[in-house]
Amino acid sequence: MIVYYVFATVILLIQAVVLVEAYRNLIYTRRQYRPTPSKYQPRTAVISPCKGMDTTFDRNINSLFHLNYPDYEIFFVVDSATDPAYRRITEIIEQNSANSHPVKAHLVIAGPAQTSSQKVHNLLTVCNSLPSDFEVLAFIDSDACLKSHFLTSLVHPLRRKDVGASTGYRWFVPVDNRIGSAVLSAINAFFASQMGPHSWVSTWGGAMALQRKTYDQINLSQVWRNCCTDDYPLTTAVHKADLLVIFAPACYVASYEKTSWRDLFSFARRQFIITRVYMHRLWVLAILGMGHFVVAFWTGLLVSLYLYANSSVHARYAAMLPVFLMVASIVKALFRQIMIRKILPEDRYRLLVPALIDIFLQPFLAVFTLACLISSAFSRVIVWRGIRYTLHSANHTEIADLSTNT
């Protein structure tokens, strides 16, 4: 039992530190999530890569036209005019042009990617052809639904000379009653709550911004040239330039989604494969972080049950490990669920089931997440919006368009 007690002590100390960090993130977010006025509002290009139709496509795209920001233009970009998004965006641009103060919007056709993912290729096509009067570049995914204060809050941190990029993050809101959709929201909530006032925070490609001069300084057009993903390489380039990435809690965005268990596993595995290739240390930390919880909780539970069954005097002491881990996971889940209800009050009813799963079923979610993490160790192939990519390295992406295969 000595080995068990030493193991339990180490785990409990780790969890105590994690709990304190979770509380710190909660306090930071509660203080910063409210939008504040900003005098720093330079001319901004909002770039939105699109491929196919997202679950709430019209709502997401229309939200870009209603940002409380004085000087911005929107650049939608697709790979071809045959993409279903092309026609619908054209219609939405025309509808919004009838407003009394229309936002200028463009629709760019990038053509098929050759050496990078289609998304990165789309971004580079717009960035490399923008007029020089745009001081800030903001990248917004088509599955993000924005609030009116979003752009002001995202751009505001860039006023500081030591900041290279700013970022928001998504919170999945299920739009159906499938358990897979609720579990997706619950698992993502864990990772979303890791964002905070950290020097190591990473950008999220669905909502990030940087100054045009920073784009040139870090040579992002060259950095992205052969990449499959946009956010991790940007983060690495910013840190190499001794600049910070700042997370803006006011830039949490709702991503309305529905998914099956199969699609959930595929999505999670794809995200972890990308992380392993582009941020290997972060992937290892995720393995260790999720792994120690899973091993400690389930080992502690089985050992406790065995000791109770044998009427051992050590049973009640052994049970302290799984009990504390369960209580700690409940407290951390309560932190993040209380937080998001302040930020997305309009979606609190849709988030009720995911919240209950997050709070009370964390040991099972951790097992599923760990399985996705481990499975990502054995492949470098992902399928992303109908295109298969082989990630040979962070600077070598092989592309195969599945829609052309017979």
Instruction: Write out pLDDT tens, residues 209-234.
Output: 999 999 999 999 999 999 999 999 99
pLDDT score at 297: 97
pLDDT score at 238: 98
Percent of the chain having pLDDT more than 90?
A: 91
pLDDT in tens, 182-216: 999 999 999 999 998 888 899 999 999 999 999 99
pLDDT score at 405: 44
In the predicted structure, residue 404 carries a pLDDT above the cut 70: no
Cβ atoms within 10 Å of 38's Cβ, excluding its own: 14
- Tallying the residues shown for the chain, one arrives at 406
Q: 171: which strand partners?
A: 254
What lies within 8 Å, CB to CB, of 87 at 6+ separation is none
In the predicted structure, residue 374 carries a pLDDT above the cut 80: yes
SS3 labels along the chain: CHHHHHHHHHHHHHHHHHHHHHHHHHHHHHHHCCCCCCCCCCCEEEEEECCCCCCCHHHHHHHHHHCCCCCEEEEEEECCCCCHHHHHHHHHHHHHCCCCCCCCEEEEECCCCCCCCHHHHHHHHHHCCCCCCCCEEEEECCCCECCCCHHHHHHHHHHCCCEEEEEEEEEEEECCCCHHHHHHHHHHHHHHCCCCCCCCCCCCCCEEEEEHHHHHHCCHHHHCCCCCCCHHHHHHHHHHCCCEEEEEEEEEEEEEECCCHHHHHHHHHHHHHHHHHHCHHHHHHHHHHHHHHHHHHHHHHHHHHHHHHCCCCCHHHHCHHHHHHHHHHHHHHHHHHHHHHHHCHHHCCCCHHHHHHHHHCHHHHHHHHHHHHHHHHHCCEEEECCEEEEEEECCEEEEEEHHHCC
**Mean pLDDT within 37-58:** 95
Cβ atoms within 10 Å of 280's Cβ, excluding its own: 11
Give all domains of the chain, ordered by start, each with its CATH number: 2-25+283-378 (no CATH), 35-273 (3.90.550.10)
**Mean pLDDT within 168-175:** 97
Give the Cα separation of 391 and 144 in Å (integer): 26
* Closest listed residue to residue 395, CA positions, set 285, 301, 296, 277: 277
**Mean pLDDT within 247-274:** 96
Map tokens 């870090």 to a residue.
218
pLDDT in tens, 267-311: 999 999 999 999 999 999 999 999 999 999 999 999 999 999 999
How many CA atoms, within 13 angstroms, populate the side-chain half-sphere of residue 65?
22
Give the Cα separation of 232 and 394 in Å (integer): 10
- Name the band, by pLDDT with cuts 50, 70 and 90, for residue 406: very low
What's the first-to-final CA gap in the chain, in angstroms?
A: 61
pLDDT score at 403: 60
In the predicted structure, residue 322 carries a pLDDT above the cut 70: yes
pLDDT in tens, 99-123: 878 899 999 999 999 999 999 999 9
